[in-house]
Structure formats: structure tokens, C-alpha cells
Chain A
Amino acid sequence: MKHCMITTKVNGKEYVRAIPVNMTLVEFLRDELHLHGTKEGCDEGECGACTILFDGHPFNACLVLAAEADGHDILTIEGMADDDRLHPIQEAFLEAGAVQCGYCTPGMVLSAKAVLDEFPNPTDAQIRTGIEGNICRCTGYNRIVEAIHIAAEKINAAG
């Protein structure tokens, strides 16, 4: 398999790597950088578990080639907390009881961030649309919607 060089920033850190041209971004994150927080659930863009932010936009990392990340900024779940301090969205997920098995949680948190970056005071409908690509089999979603509202309050209160 042909290889190519990429330079990409993941969670603020720059990586320069030679990678196979057919490597997906989720493979790059998990197998090359060993960032296992990004989950893989279907490998075809259906479940949303591998959601990351690509220049701030929510992408299914299984549908993006790692080569496409060349020159771009990637945010994964590992980049959400500030050292020991959880991101307000993470705190809100804990408070609202939005975490059960936890497998969809990293992707869900990143989709939540994308929602809140776009809509600082989101409606239920905006939240539900923002996370519609993230399947959760445990919670029934209502607590996740609630968590995103709580996160909005936290972020807005912090200015």
C-alpha cells in the first residue's frame, strides 16, 4: 500500500506521520496515535461513536481518510478536559446521569460540543438534531439532551 506524509494537529499537538493512503482517520487515531477514546461502532458512518471535531465540525472519523486530515485540526475526547478539570459538557453528563455503558459517550460529548459551539442556548430540537447521528442504546437520550442544556448553562455562566 502506498504511503503518504501528513502533518496534523490532534488535541493541540502536532503529529507528522507516514501513513498508508487507505488508512481512515479513526484507524489513525486509535492504531497510530493510540488514542483509544475515539470509539468505533460500525465503520460506515451509521452509529456516530467515532465522532471527532474536524476544524470544529463533527465528522465520523470512520468516513474520513487520515490523509485528509493533513493540515487540519482534530479534537478528540482526550482533548476535552483541561488536565484534571473536566470540560463543562463532561461535568454536565455526570450530573444529568447521561452516562451508562459509556461507549457512545465520547462521540456524544463531541457532538454536544459542536451543538453548543453553534447554538449557545440550544432548543431541544437543535440538540436532538445535533446528536441524531450518535446512537445510544442505553439511556433513551432524554438525559443526554438534559446534560447538553446543563452544559450550556455552565458554559454561559463561565462567560
Chain B
Amino acid sequence: MTYKKSDQDQTSASTKVKTTTDLESKLKQLAASVPLSSIGTEDVYVDQAGKVGVMGNYQTVGHPEERKDAREKVTGEAVFGPDVEFPNMLYAAVYHSPYAHARILSYDLEDAKAVEGVVCVLTGKDVPGRFGAFIADQSTLAVDKVRYNGEPVVAIAAETAHAAKEAVQKVKVEYEELEAVTDPYEAMQPGAPLVHDNWSGYAHAADFTGRDGTNLCDYFPLRHGDVEKGFEEADIVVENTYRTAGVNHSTIELHVATAKFDIAKNRLTIWSPTQSPFMIRKQLAGLLGLKQSEVRIVCTYIGGGFGGKYEIKIEPIVAALAMHCQGRAVRLVYNRHEDYLAGCVRGGTVIKIKSACNRDGKMVAQKIENYFDTGAYSTTGPRINYNAGLAAISPYKIPNVWIDGYTVATNRQITSAYRGFGMPEYTFAFENQMDLLADKLGMDPYVFRMKNIYHTGDVSATGEILPEVGLEKCFKAAAQMIGWEKGDWRRHVTEDGKWRAKGMAGGIKLTGTPSSSSVVVRFNDDATVQVSQSGMELGQGAFTVIPQFVAERLGIPYENVSVVPVDTMYTPYEKTTTGSRVTFHVGNAAVRAAEDVIDQLCDLCAIGWEADRESIRFDKGVIFGPMGKKLVVKDIGKTSLMKEQDPILGRGTYSTSDIWDKPDPDTHASKKPTVQWFWAAQACEVEVDPKTGKIRILDYAAAQDVGRAINTMNCVQQVEGAVVMGMSHCMLEELLDDEQGHLLNGNMVDFKVATSQDTDFDIKVALIENPVSDNLYGARGIGEPPVVPPAAAISNAVSRACGGRILSIPLKCEKVLDAVKKGPYRKEAE
């Protein structure tokens, strides 16, 4: 894309950005590298140089309290999935399919069974039943057919891990290889090999939209206005096809589970680092013919989840083995190669998109067809299609929107939830389009975005009146932090011949709705509190922020509150730890549980003080009664009020069933598709070496609407980590397979994730305060939203620097070089 000088002058950034709000003047101080302490403002909190302060006016909420889980993690005491061990335990190993698509003709297991120490060998014939959150298409071990390279085919339990692995080497299976399909767009074409013959033959959810005789297992349409009319009438139309590669979560803790079957009690216990203990309990019970009360999930710490430990994965395999092993515990830990093959991934996408605007810079229409590769089984693909489809309306107000989301089965690794849940992919596409439209208009891409962003009270493309939209502040903060107003966002060449430019992107995402959470707190007579809940700690700080909610509401010190380990036999129901939902949802339930305790404490005071219950009131940790009587809750142990009194149990639940407006299945029109939208904007400056294609990120700015931070440190951690993960997806990560669907790079050398050497750039973080009315302290989810914009922001900067658009990620050097060679500045590179 080339620029006309007149166009640039006409829409210079500096004239549009420089207004005089407090926010901007405060952010200017940041640009001048003023220390954090002097930047505190009412509505934006900026972190710099590793210093993290306080947001809001509370005693613990908004403070960077030390994580409750951190001490045991720095000492090595924290128990993760592979740390579970029992006396007399058996070790499992799995034989995986070497083919991506093949019929199983026969098994020869004699040599495997003959290995000394082997106790049990199972195939798909021994483990009936199928599971799946939306379509029950997956068996524990392959039956008749394998559908991806790595599908578990034979499971073995042995006295030692070495014996189990040796037995796997001796498994012989005869196959008839079938033609494989490995691209979601090709898989949708007539005549493509079928991964599954017949979707409706499987048990499935009521709103199932799969099409028999095709690879389409879920279809999502969103309709708003008339896109075709919009394209006809618009001044500028840009149409492209974007691709994003498949990526693996690459959590450092591998997939692991341990199972034990208690024959006398008919009870299966699973120890797992799962993000969804209640979901896997339900699915396992259904699969194994047990009652939900007969399945117990004991959760360990999660050594990295990012969605990868959301679904039932290897739990059925260990469960099946345990049920065949006479009450002995069985542990299965995948190795790294197995994790790449048979763990789960974020599948690739093919996104066809057409976007239009008018000369005045107003968006007119956008049509998107997104083909999600869900891999060999549907898993959570339909849910990704739905949640991401709703958020694909983009952060921009567009009068005509058409979205078709296709979840397509291929013979590739199974997709599961992955941090961002489809939105980094959609965002990569529509944010590149925003830059292309801005360039065609000759308009500053920031100014163009600001003309189109949603504001509070706008009606969205689904018909919702949007509450509390923080986009404007996010964009202003990101632009200011990266120095966009200086105007050097445009391509420029350094003295040593490197090409530089800046790029930006907005972020939108929703949280799954409806869902529910429950919390039980036990208030002891020394004013300590134990919180029972089932939101999982996977590094995001759940076990820290939930105590902050409880401590704040009760007015007791944060140190007084702890979280009990999650165990479906004892801790209350939680939907899942996904979708950036725990802080908000469990937080709401925790506040209600604390309020239940307050009520009961007031009752006790009324009795103890022989006063009318009506005359008792609670305020900020103190209970006031008549005649000047008062009780400081944290000092209750110094009084006799709770003598002869059991600990007080407080109960709180929170559900979004009542506020949800179920979207229309044909248009997805809804006045309330989600309880909470997330808003972000990020910007960066990059440098491209036109001779090698190497990209260097020089500076990065991330602004996140956090509602109100419950723990500022946790929020900053989430944003920084998400930026690097998004950068890694954008620049490094790509699952490669050959035409037969064999995974070619299932290890951490060939599938490259960011190391400390790839991240030597400053990440400036702005937490935008924009309190959410549905939460007492205003909290908004934070885990996923900051991973939505990075690939779009970085690729916008890189494409601008190259002078040519790169339509797929990752931005490998060869693609960059190609863009340079085909671009208008190629002579400069010679």
C-alpha cells in the first residue's frame, strides 16, 4: 500500500489525538518516562518498570496482594498433576495412531502383554461409549477407525513406567490408510474425504447444527442489516482471505491424570489438573455408566492451562484402566511429543472477509466467513464458533454485518478451548482490514478506528445496548503509550537500513453466558475464613482474588482468608474455569456468601446484645448496635459472641441464566448475549530487516479495560503474559503437517514458543478503570482479552513496515521477505 503525501497531511494523527482530557495529560507523563507513582489517576492505572500500585479505594481489593499460591510454588511444595503418587501405583502408557486417517484392520497385542510387569492392555473394544461436550463423537480409544495422527488406540498399565512404554513399542496394529483432509476450507468442498460419516448418528446437543454427509459439525450465522446493499453503496471495499496456523498450548505441565476405582464403594476418583472438574465429572459419569456422585474429581494445581485443560482428555483412558486394575491407582502422563499429537490445539482458520467504508471514514458493511479447523472430533468447536461468532461483530459499529462461522472436522489434532476462544483469529482478519481501509482512505489508522469504535449505550450488531464500553480509553491509552501521536507510525527507514512502523488493534471478547458459580465460606471464631469454591488456580490468580472479595466485604484482613483445595466431593459447583469468568462470577458468589455471614453475625449480635435485629447494622467490617455497642468483625475472637457457636457457614450463588437473552438461531440477534464484554487496545512498534525478514519488536503498549482491578499485580501479569503469548502465536508458532496429516513438528524445538530471548522489549500496560455495575467492586475478566489483539497489532506494524500485507500468521521470515520483494519499496532492500 502506498501513501499519497496529501492524504497523509490531511489526516495527520497529531491533530486528531491531541485533546486535553485528564487521561491524556496523565499518559503524556508516561511518555516522558515519569515514575509510576506520579501517574495515579482516577480512571487509568499505568504500570511501568515493574512497579505495581493500587487501584480504587479499598482495603484489599485493588491492591497487588501477594498471591496465595506463590510461596508453595517458589519452594516446590505445590502439588501438580504429575506429583500425585500412591503406594502400589501402576503406570500407564498409550499407543497412538501413526496415521491421520485409517481403518483399523487388526490388533496383535501378544508381545505387548508379554512384557514383564504389564498388568492391563485395552483397546477401543474394551471401552465402549462416546463423549463430547456438544457432539458425542469421540471414543476413549479408537474404534474401527483412526481420525488423526496421535489418536489413542491402545492403553497399557504396568508396574513401572518403563515396562508400560516398552509394551507400547510392541503393540502391532494393522491399518488400511484412507485419504486424509487437513485444511478446513478444503474439507468443506464437495468430494472431500469424510472424517465422520454421519453427525446426527451421535448423541448431540439440542441446538446441534452439523450437516450429515459433510465435515461441517457446527454452523453459526449472524445477520444485521443488509451487507450486499452496504457493499454496493460503500465508497471503498476491501476483500481478502486470511489464515491463522494451528498452535499448541504448550503448557509446561503435560496432560496427566491419575485414577483409582474403589470397588466396594463403586467410586471412581480422578486426580487431575483440570480446568473443569464438574464438567469432566458429568461426562465421565455418563461415559462409564456411573452416577455423578460416584465420580470424584480431585484437582491439583494446573501447570498452565490456557484452555488446554478444559476438556475431558486423558481422564477416560486412566479411568478405563483403573476400572480394569482391581482398585490400584493408575497414572498417565503424556510426554511432550504425545502432548503435541494427542493433547489438544487451537486449530487453524481460513477467514474470508469483505469490509467496506465510506469516504468520511465510517464503516458500512463487513462480511466474514470463518472456517475453523476443529480437528478430528468436534470437542468444544461448536462453542468456540458461537462465542467467537458473537464477538466477531468487532469493536466497531458497522450497520451491516454478516458472519458465517463453520466448525469443520479434518484429520488433524483435536481443537479445544484456547485462550481467546477464536477471537485472536477473527481479530487478525478484521484488524488487518481496518488498516487496509484506512490506507485506502489515506487516513491515520488510529483516527479511522476512533471514528468507528463502540461507545457505552451504542446498539451492537446483535441489538444489544452496550453497557460500560471502555474502548475509547483503551485506544487513547495505547496510542499515547506507544507515541502514536508523534506521527511516526508510518513506515520509515533507519540509518542502518531497517524498516520501521507502528501498528495497532482493538480487542473485543465475551464471556460464555449463561453460567453459574457457588461459594461456601466458613467463618471461624477467630475471624479467619476458609472459602470453598471450584474456580481453578491455573496461574491467573483465582485463589488470590476470591479471598480479596471475601476479605473486603467482611472487612477482615486478606491474610485471614484462604481457599480450600478443589474437590467435587466437597467444594460447590462451578461451571468451568474458562472464558475469563472466574473473577467476575465467583467474585459475585463470594460477595454473596460473605453477605450471608454478615447477616448471621448481625443475628448473633442481636442475641448477644439483647437488641432488636432491626437495630443492628454492618458497615465496613464493623457491626453497630444500639447504645453505642459495636463489634469489629476481625476482632470477634476477643469477644464471647461466638462462644459455644459453630463456625458460621455463608452461602452465595451467582447465575447469569436470568439476564441472558438467548440469541435467535438464524440471526443471533440478542439484547443480552453475554453478561460481560471485554475491551482492549494494543499498539506496537516493529523493525523489519528487509534483507533477512527478521522482525524485532521495539516497543509494546497494551491497554485493558479491567472494570476495576481486584489485584493490580495479577492484572498486569495477565496482560504481559498474554502479549507475549500473542506475539509468540504471531511470529513463531505453527503446527506443521504433511499432506497425509502427519504432524511434523511435535516437539519444543521445531514448534517454537517464545523464550526469554524473544521478549526483550518493553511492555507498557495500562489498566483502564471502568467499573462494571454487575459486580460490587466493578471487576471485569482479564485472562483472555489481552491475547486477542497482539497478532493483529504486530502484523499491522510489520505489513506497514514492509509496504505489503501479509495475510497469514505466523509471520515467518520467508513471508516477510516475500512481502518486501513484492512491495513498493523492494528497490530499497536490494
Contacts and interface: CB of A to CB of B under 8 A. Distances in A.
B83 interface: yes
Interface in B34-87: 50, 52, 64, 66-67, 69-80, 82-83, 85
Contacts of B251: 101, 103, 137
B749 to A, nearest CB: 6
B193 to A, nearest CB: 33
A41 B71 contact: no
B556 interface: no
Interface residue range, chain A: 35 or more
Nearest to A133: B755
B760 A41 contact: no
Interface string B223-260: 00000000000000000000000000111111000000
A146 B82 CA distance: 29
Given A93-B74, A99-B73, A101-B303, A41 B721 contact: no
A1 B74 CA distance: 36
Interface in A79-96: 80-81, 86, 90, 93-94, 96
Given A76-B76, A102-B74, 11 more contacts: A77-B74, A93-B70, A101-B303, A124-B760, A135-B250, A135-B753, A137-B725, A138-B539, A140-B721, A140-B754, A144-B756
A145 B49 CA distance: 11
A134 B756 CA distance: 8
Given A101-B303, A102-B70, A132-B756, A90 B75 contact: yes
15 contacts: A37-B75, A38-B76, A44-B748, A49-B252, A81-B75, A99-B70, A102-B72, A103-B253, A103-B304, A106-B76, A135-B748, A136-B756, A137-B250, A139-B724, A142-B50
Most chain A beta carbons < 10 A, residue from B249, B254, B725: B254
B82 A40 contact: yes
A14 to B, nearest CB: 20
B80 A103 contact: yes
B724 A140 contact: yes
A129 B747 CA distance: 21
B639 to A, nearest CB: 32
Identify the 6 closest CB pairs spanning chains A and B, nearest first: A37-B76, A103-B303, A102-B73, A101-B539, A140-B724, A77-B76
Contacts of B336: 41-44, 46-47
Interface stretch (B354-362, B397-405, B712-720): B712-720
Given A41-B252, A46-B747, A128-B756, A100 B76 contact: no
Contacts of B753: 135, 137
A135 B679 CA distance: 29
A129 B757 contact: yes
A30 B84 CA distance: 11
B629 interface: no
B12 interface: no
Interface residues of B, number: 61
A8 interface: no
Contacts of B220: none
B252 A47 contact: yes
Contacts of A131: 756
Nearest to B751: A46
B540 interface: yes
Interface string B716-760: 110011111100000000000000000000011100011111011
B306 interface: yes
A135 B539 contact: no
Contacts of B74: 77, 86, 90, 93-94, 99, 102, 105-106, 109
Contacts of B71: 86, 94
A94 B70 contact: yes
A46 B50 CA distance: 28
Interface in B304-361: 304-306, 333, 335-336
Contacts of B540: 100
B538 interface: yes
Given A41-B253, A42-B336, A141 B301 contact: no
A132 B757 contact: yes
B158 to A, nearest CB: 14
A35 B76 CA distance: 9
Given A46-B336, A80-B75, A137-B251, A99 B304 contact: no
Interface in B285-306: 301-306
Nearest to B251: A137
Contacts of A99: 67, 69-70, 73-74
A28 to B, nearest CB: 13
Nearest to A145: B756
B342 to A, nearest CB: 15
Nearest to B64: A97
A53 interface: no
Contacts of B85: 31, 34
Contact of A140 (B162, B541, B725): B725
A12 to B, nearest CB: 15
Contacts of A144: 756
Contacts of A135: 250, 252, 748, 753, 755
Interface in A17-61: 20, 22, 30-31, 34-44, 46-47, 49
A134 B76 CA distance: 16
Nearest to B77: A37
Contacts of A142: 50, 720, 759, 762-763
B252 A141 contact: no
B150 to A, nearest CB: 16
A137 B757 CA distance: 14
A69 interface: no
A68 interface: no
A36 to B, nearest CB: 4
B294 to A, nearest CB: 29
Contacts of B250: 135, 137
A39 to B, nearest CB: 7
B538 A101 contact: yes
A77 B75 contact: yes
Contacts of B760: 124, 128
A117 interface: no
Contact of A141 (B66, B724, B749): B724
A19 B258 CA distance: 25
A102 B759 contact: no
Interface string A56-72: 00000000000000000
Given A135-B748, A140-B763, A39 B253 contact: yes
A40 B755 CA distance: 18
A10 interface: no
B162 A1 contact: yes
A41 B82 CA distance: 10
Nearest to B78: A102
A105 B50 CA distance: 18
B727 to A, nearest CB: 8
Nearest to A43: B335
Contacts of B754: 140-141
Contacts of A104: 252
A36 B725 contact: no
Interface string B365-386: 0000000000000000000000
A9 interface: no
A103 B305 CA distance: 11
A102 B756 contact: no
A140 B759 contact: yes
A69 to B, nearest CB: 18
Contacts of A118: none
Nearest to B537: A101
A96 B50 contact: yes
Given A124-B760, A138-B539, A39 B70 contact: no
